[in-house]
Amino acid sequence: MLQIKVYSDYVCPYCFFGEVVLERALQGMENKVEIEWMPFELRPYPNPTLKPEEDYLQTTWQNSVYPMAAQLDIDIVLPRVSPQPYTHLAFGGYQYAKEKGRGEAYTHRMFTAFFQEEQDIGDIAILTKLAKELGLDEKEFGEALESGKYREAHQQALRHAYEEAGISAVPTFIIGNKKVRGLLREEDMRKLITQELA
């Protein structure tokens, strides 16, 4: 089994692209790899998060995100949630989903909820509703987030990313023994996975 670790943040559009590109690159090889999504917060609390109405995001999206989305044929929109949500609660939910064997599905749902439906993934009620959609126990999930049950597991995952893995930008993929920062083209990703499998 080839191990693939993907460091990402749910409010990073390039991480959403990375998830889709990885899924496409893996077609026909899904049973040969094991993917683990690794939390990384671009702007951890109390650092201020970005506002979609301000110039920085408007410019970045017009010049980079939207053209890349068109190239990759991925539906994406700059969410109007302002300011952008902190992602520590969503990542607490990820720890719960991962325990239940639904980590990958949960990660995908966070990206689509935020970047296609403009849902506030910093809100416990919304996260709980999304967890229920995935067949997770909404009461248990909501209580786990309210009580901070996974706070320490999430902090440990962040320490691992920042200190041990030396992650400074997302998405970062660790495919077998190769570390790749940023987005690869689907064919390059496929080639790298094939080489690592060999």
| Domain region containing 179 | 2-197
Q: How many C-beta neighbours within 10 Å does residue 145 have? A: 22
pLDDT of residue 14: 98
Angle formed at CA 40 by CA 20 and CA 139, multiple of 5 degrees: 85
- CA 56 and chain centroid, separation: 21
pLDDT of residue 30: 87
CATH number at residue 143: 3.40.30.10
Q: What is the pTM of this model?
A: 0.96
**DSSP assignment of 58-77:** HHHIIIIIHHHHHHHT----
Strand partners, 37: 6
Alpha-carbon distance of 193 to 137, in angstroms, equals: 35
- State how many domains the chain has: 1
Strand partners, 33: 2
Query: Could you list the pLDDT tens digit for every one of the 198 residues in the chain?
Result: 999 999 999 999 999 999 999 999 999 998 999 999 999 999 999 999 999 999 999 999 999 999 999 999 999 999 999 999 999 999 999 999 999 999 999 999 999 999 999 999 999 999 999 999 999 999 999 999 999 999 999 999 999 999 999 999 999 999 999 999 999 999 999 999 999 998
Q: Among candidates 83, 77, 93, which has minimal Cα distance to 42?
A: 83
pLDDT of residue 163: 93
| Sheet of strand 33-39: strand arrangement | 33-39, 2-8, 172-175, 178-181
